[in-house]
């Protein structure tokens, strides 16, 4: 991949580095429902979820797996705090001790969550998934929010039932505030908070300006991670400096490949492309990995480390599949 180039009429040479992708088995991010559903007739952003899939032939465990929303520039920047790609130059961020490697060897987490467990408490069978819900309720049904207001779902077909999700992000204890729509499901385990920048709930950017990763790290490793401020000084937040070597899978999203491309938050080693919703925000659609083949009844998902090639969009369906 080579992008954000100036093309002249003649005499230009473009060099594109060819990289071999590691795409054998393991856990992958299967479905990201960031778009949400209609604000008035559906559930808005409240029904968002992420699905993680065991693409291998062996039992794997979700215990301790960490899910992160990445931070970066959402438009192509041109000031001194940006790289040629338009992304932030993290080498210039206050707190960085990694030099220029800050841009090539690390990604930057804003809201970072860990799945609890003893190590073998939450098995994922081959060809099966876990669902991480922002709020693990049946969003198709009317309910009472934490302020005592009745929320009526006018068109249940626009949203999803997440009452049987495997994990949910409830931040009431962490933030000390009870978010109006963050309804606790006592039957669904809460994610642990590793790092938090802002907000009162797990809210995925419905414009497609997030990057996502799953990774493994011990508490000791995380305690040694750097904390770096936004190089552009647009805010004073600290972002978790996560080594690329720990990433299990990563997906970049964007707004619109044609006109509103978002600078990549992941390197091309972890995702050579981007995926996005052509139907846009609040459309009830999600991005999901394509089915590559079926072996003895087990569905194997496409994983070439290029989300432009690996993903399509479908109406959000927990545990669903694309063709």
| Calpha distance 179→91 (Å, rounded) | 36
| Calpha distance 300→143 (Å, rounded) | 37
Model confidence pLDDT, tens digit, residues 5-40? 777 667 777 777 776 665 545 999 999 999 999 999
- Look up the pTM and report it: 0.92
Buried b (16+ CB within 10 A) or exposed e, 160-181: bebbebbbbbbbbeeeeebbeb
Model confidence pLDDT, tens digit, residues 265-300? 999 999 999 999 999 999 999 999 999 999 999 999
pLDDT reported for residue 21: 60
Q: What is the mean pLDDT of residues 234-262?
A: 91
Q: What is the mean pLDDT of residues 251-272?
A: 88
End-to-end CA distance of the chain: 26
Closest Cα to residue 139, out of 119, 153, 118?
Answer: 153
Share of the chain above pLDDT 70, in %: 95
């Amino acid at each position: 991949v080579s992008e954000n180039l100036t093309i002249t009429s003649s005499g230009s040479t473009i060099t594109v580095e060819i990289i071999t992708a590691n795409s054998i088995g393991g856990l992958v991010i299967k479905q990201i429902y960031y778009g949400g559903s209609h604000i008035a007739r559906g559930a808005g952003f409240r029904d968002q979820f992420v699905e993680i899939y065991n693409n291998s032939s062996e039992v794997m465990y979700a215990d301790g797996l960490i899910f992160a929303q990445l931070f970066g520039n959402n438009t192509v920047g041109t000031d001194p705090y940006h790289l040629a790609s338009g992304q932030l130059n993290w080498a210039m961020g206050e707190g960085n001790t990694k030099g220029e490697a800050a841009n090539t060897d690390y990604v930057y987490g804003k809201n970072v969550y860990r799945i609890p467990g003893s190590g073998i408490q939450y098995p994922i069978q081959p060809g099966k998934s876990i669902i991480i819900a922002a709020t693990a309720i049946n969003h198709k049904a009317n309910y009472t929010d934490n302020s005592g207001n009745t929320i009526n779902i006018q068109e249940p077909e626009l949203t999803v039932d997440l009452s049987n999700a495997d994990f949910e992000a409830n931040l009431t204890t962490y933030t000390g505030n009870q978010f109006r729509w963050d309804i606790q499901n006592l039957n669904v385990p809460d994610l642990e908070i590793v790092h938090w920048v802002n907000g009162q709930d797990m809210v995925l950017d419905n414009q497609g300006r997030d990057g996502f990763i799953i990774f493994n790290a011990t508490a000791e490793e995380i305690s040694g991670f750097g904390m770096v401020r936004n190089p552009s000084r647009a805010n004073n937040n600290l972002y978790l400096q996560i080594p690329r070597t720990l990433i299990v899978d990563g997906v970049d999203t964007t707004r619109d490949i044609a006109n509103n491309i978002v600078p990549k938050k992941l390197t091309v080693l972890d995702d050579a492309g981007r995926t996005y919703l052509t139907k846009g925000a609040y459309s009830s659609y999600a991005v999901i990995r394509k089915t590559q083949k079926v072996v003895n009844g087990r569905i194997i998902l496409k994983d070439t480390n290029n989300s432009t090639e690996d993903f399509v969009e479908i109406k959000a369906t927990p545990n669903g599949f694309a063709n």
